[in-house]
Amino acid sequence: MNLVHRILCSSARWKQTMQNDVLPWSLDGLELGSELLEIGPGYGAATELLHSRVGRLTCVEVDPKLAGDLRERMRGHNVTVMHEDATATSLPAGAFDAAVCFTMLHHVPSPMLQDRLLAEAFRLLKPGGVFAGTDSLDGRIFRFLHLFDTLVVVNPGTLPARLTDAGFEDVEVDTNAHAFRFRARKPVMIAAPSAQA
Three-point CA angle 59, 61, 65, nearest 5°: 120
Per-residue pLDDT at 24 = 95
Domain architecture of the chain: domains with CATH: 3-33+85-185 (3.40.50.150)
pTM of the model: 0.90
pLDDT single digits (tens) 21-65: 999 999 999 999 999 999 999 999 999 999 999 999 999 999 999
Per-residue pLDDT at 148 = 65
Under the phi-then-psi rule, with left for phi > 0, alpha for psi from -120 to 50, and beta for the rest, what region is 94? left
CB 57 within 8 A of CB 78: yes
| Bridge partners of residue 101, in order along the sequence | 133
Per-residue pLDDT at 15 = 82
Three-point CA angle 81, 83, 87, nearest 5°: 110
Per-residue pLDDT band for 151 (boundaries 50, 70, 90) equals: confident
Per-residue pLDDT band for 197 (boundaries 50, 70, 90) equals: very low
Class of residue 132 by CB neighbours under 10 A (exposed 0-12, middle 13-18, buried 19+): buried
